[in-house]
Structure 1
């Protein structure tokens, strides 16, 4: 028995390759939807998840758990491979960097304001 979801033919139960292809297709569609003015990403991704939910209702509990594990792992893997937004870029500034910038500002203020008033 086969079923179709988002243009991908699935055997029942689906193979890991088919599930990965679906996750990659969903990731690609989300990436393209980011640049669409009319698309609300929350509604778009929710609609994708609802389609997957309805598709997995035909699977037994173990097959469903395996499906979601593969699907979610592939989405997480593809999200982590984004070279334009590496995970370490989210860390922000270090305390040392902030201290150096503040010290530089204090030096500028000292020489520009305080030193001219003392002389």
Structure 2
């Protein structure tokens, strides 16, 4: 559950970063169109918000919310440390981590 929540939070923060001209330009070579920037912002906020659900579903509202805040910090820190050095890898991880977390859900205890 925590891996899925971390992946969703990371993907959400990556979407929010890619909505900015500088980061989008680093990854794709051009700033985003206004429509793409709005979609990235919306997807980013949805990813961050959706990462709360697995935490609360597995650990309850009190512990799950505290875990969620910690996962938000860890996800944002990992993106901040990775984005300047390997921007394309950070986008690839944003696509793969939620999928990996969802695939590992049957094995979560």
Is TM-score (shorter-chain normalized) higher than 0.5? no
Give the TM-score taking structure 2 as reference length: 0.42
Higher strand content, 1 or 2? 1
Higher helix content, 1 or 2? 2
Give the TM-score taking structure 1 as reference length: 0.40
**Which one has a bigger Cα radius of gyration?**
1
Higher RCO, 1 vs 2 (CA within 8 Å, ≥6 residues apart)? 2
